[in-house]
């Protein structure tokens, strides 16, 4: 006899799931009955929030949904922060939890791990939450989840299975087959209207977001045909290579870049929310789009949020970009007839380069040193100073190589567990998986420090680059600038080297470019994780020499 829990694992295998993150508990052991005999690898974090962040990092690198097995009650409250981060950034995540038996749901009888309503708890951080009231519902609800991941705006999905349903006989479901859904194509009439506006534009410009991650080739050809400058959100970094003459970067919050955007007569926004954390990170407003705005998004609701468009198209970014390119190529004249874009981008780059202050240059050198030592590295960041700088100055050569929690939901402690997931989601290119570096501050690392043990156990050779400024420096500056006496920001700083070694990691402190480069090369050859501590004051002093 196959139980519902065992069939669930079989169906997940059918959908191509290769990795699950979770902490076994008395209410989820029936899921593990099937897992032990499957091809799916299991990684145990030290906190359910870590499971969610690992699934998030895995999904961002692999493009596949990150899957978690989570215990009733405290497990679900623990993972909601990670679900919030994934929800904000449109990351596919499948959270499968247990829940009280059907006769006990909402009973308030003091059962172990009992919550009044788990579905309501996660309602704000999930595309949907479904309670499986019989094993027979399982194939349909999984199909619904993967349809969203494959063809809609991907976000976390929560499926909870009552304890009595988990052990329900479900042999008849073993023959269920996965459902595959194609994304929406671009409506020809809307494509023609957009192409007409773009073809007649004198100064076209493109704003691309994380929703266009898989459209890099098509988008590059499109902007080259238009001669249009391209600004990328943080989650879209790498869609154009760093030296592309039309790449603005991710500097939309800066005055000089805003001036360029204001010059455009037609702006194409594709796969982007046009939200505060990518365009108005000064939190003072001021980002404007005076030109005709064209929006393309997989989510109909998103096409009219924040900035209303002149024309909108609901479609997959890749197919829409290709359709626009084809429509423009059918026209004999227009689009790409001037070099305004490349000239204007070059002028902007010179202007920005002249305005970077000393800390920005020092932190950019830090990032460039990492890239020189590890040219194929994936950068997973937290809310910390080098990440804020890199969001402005750093441009990777390919997508899915720079992402962090400093925008959108903005949670601390994300980078370490997400880096573990990112390494597990990497693809071996014949020379091993790309190295993964975790950029995190001393304050953020203390949120999820025990996950170093998870990295050791899972044999994931992530490189944790700890930027240590002995407290919450950015918040302290913010308080001072607002004439608030700093409170709660000068926190105790532990011996991170000692803690990391006690948890089984290699660990050392470095000063300066040469030491960092050497330490990174050695760390890259290890089978397990490495923590490299960089004291902010020492780095600045070494670089200034």
The answer to whether 531 touches 497, Cβ cutoff 8 Å, is yes
| 179-215 tens-digit pLDDT | 899 998 999 999 999 999 999 999 999 999 999 999 9
Q: What is the pLDDT of residue 284?
A: 64
Three-state SS at 496: helix
Q: What is the pLDDT of residue 281?
A: 67
Spelled out in words, what is the top-level CATH class assigned to the domain 188-352? alpha beta
Where are the chain's structural domains?
4-173, 188-352, 356-544
Among residues 224, 187, 188, 190, the alpha carbon closest in space to that of 206 is found at 224
Examine the pLDDT at 291 and tell me if it is beyond 80: yes
75: left (phi over 0), alpha (psi -120 to 50) or beta: alpha
Bigger pLDDT: 285 or 511?
A: 511
| 228-245 tens-digit pLDDT | 999 999 999 999 999 999
Cα dist. 398→56, 230, 320 in Å?
19, 15, 21
Given 3.40.50.970, 3.40.640.10, 3.40.50.150, 3.50.50.60, which CATH number is that of 356-544?
Answer: 3.40.50.970
Distance of CA 275 to the CA centre of its chain: 15
Q: What average pLDDT does this structure show over 503-513?
A: 96
Q: How many CB atoms lie within 10 A of CB 273?
A: 24
Pairing of β 66-70 and β 19-22: parallel
Three-state SS at 415: helix
Would 4-173 and 356-544 be classified into the same CATH topology? yes
Spelled out in words, what is the top-level CATH class assigned to the domain 4-173? alpha beta
Instruction: Kindly state the greatest CA–CA separation across the chain.
Output: 74
Q: What average pLDDT does this structure show over 164-174?
A: 90
How far is it, in rounded angstroms, from Cα 207 to Cα 229? Answer: 9
| 10-49 tens-digit pLDDT | 999 999 999 999 999 988 999 999 898 899 999 999 999 9
């Amino acid at each position: 006899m196959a139980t519902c829990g065992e069939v669930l694992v079989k169906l997940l295998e059918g959908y191509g799931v290769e990795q699950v993150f979770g902490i076994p508990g008395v209410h989820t052991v029936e899921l593990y009955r099937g897992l032990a005999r499957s091809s799916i690898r299991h990684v145990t974090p030290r906190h359910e929030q870590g499971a969610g962040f690992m699934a998030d990092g895995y999904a961002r690198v692999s493009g596949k949904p990150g899957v978690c097995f989570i215990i009733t009650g405290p497990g679900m409250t623990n993972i909601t922060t990670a679900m919030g981060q994934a929800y904000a950034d449109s990351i596919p995540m499948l959270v499968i939890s247990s829940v009280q038996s059907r006769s006990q749901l909402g009973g308030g009888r003091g059962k172990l791990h009992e919550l009044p309503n788990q579905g309501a708890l996660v309602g704000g951080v999930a595309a949907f939450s479904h309670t499986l009231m019989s094993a027979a519902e399982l194939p349909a609800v999984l199909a619904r989840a993967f349809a969203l991941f494959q063809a809609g705006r991907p976000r976390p999905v929560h499926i909870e299975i009552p304890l009595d349903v988990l052990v329900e006989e479900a042999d008849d479901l073993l023959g269920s087959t996965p459902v595959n859904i194609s994304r929406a194509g671009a409506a020809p009439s809307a494509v023609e209207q957009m192409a007409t506006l773009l073809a007649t534009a004198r100064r076209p410009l493109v704003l691309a977001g994380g929703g266009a991650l898989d459209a890099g080739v098509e988008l590059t050809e499109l902007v080259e045909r238009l001669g249009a400058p391209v600004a990328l959100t943080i989650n879209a970094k790498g869609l154009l290579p760093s030296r592309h003459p039309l790449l603005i970067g991710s500097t939309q919050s800066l005055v000089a870049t805003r001036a360029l955007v204001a010059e455009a007569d037609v702006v194409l926004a594709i796969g982007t929310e046009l939200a505060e954390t990518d365009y108005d990170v000064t939190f003072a407003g001021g980002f404007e789009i005076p030109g005709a705005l064209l929006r393309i998004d997989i989510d109909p609701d998103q096409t009219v949020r924040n900035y209303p468009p002149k024309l909108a198209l609901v479609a997959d970014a890749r197919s829409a970009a290709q359709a626009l390119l084809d429509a423009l190529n059918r026209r004999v004249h227009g689009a790409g007839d001037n070099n305004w874009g490349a000239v204007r981008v070059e002028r902007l780059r010179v202007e920005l380069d002249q305005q970077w202050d000393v800390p920005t240059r020092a932190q950019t050198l830090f990032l460039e040193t990492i890239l020189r030592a590890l040219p194929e590295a994936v950068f997973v960041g937290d809310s910390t100073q080098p990440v804020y700088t890199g969001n402005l100055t750093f441009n990777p050569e390919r997508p899915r190589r720079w992402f962090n929690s400093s925008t959108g939901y903005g949670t601390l402690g994300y980078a370490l567990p997400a880096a573990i997931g990112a390494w597990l989601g990497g693809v071996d290119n014949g020379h091993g998986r790309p190295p993964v570096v975790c950029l995190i501050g001393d304050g953020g690392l203390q949120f999820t420090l025990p996950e170093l043990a998870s990295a050791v156990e899972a044999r994931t050779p992530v490189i944790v680059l700890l930027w240590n400024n002995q407290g919450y420096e950015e918040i302290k500056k913010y308080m001072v600038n607002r004439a608030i006496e700093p409170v709660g920001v000068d926190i105790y700083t532990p011996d991170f080297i000692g803690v990391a070694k006690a948890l089984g990691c290699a660990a050392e402190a470095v000063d300066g470019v040469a030491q960092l480069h050497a330490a990174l090369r050695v760390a890259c050859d290890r089978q397990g994780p490495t923590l490299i501590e960089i004291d902010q004051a020492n780095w600045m002093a070494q670089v200034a020499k």
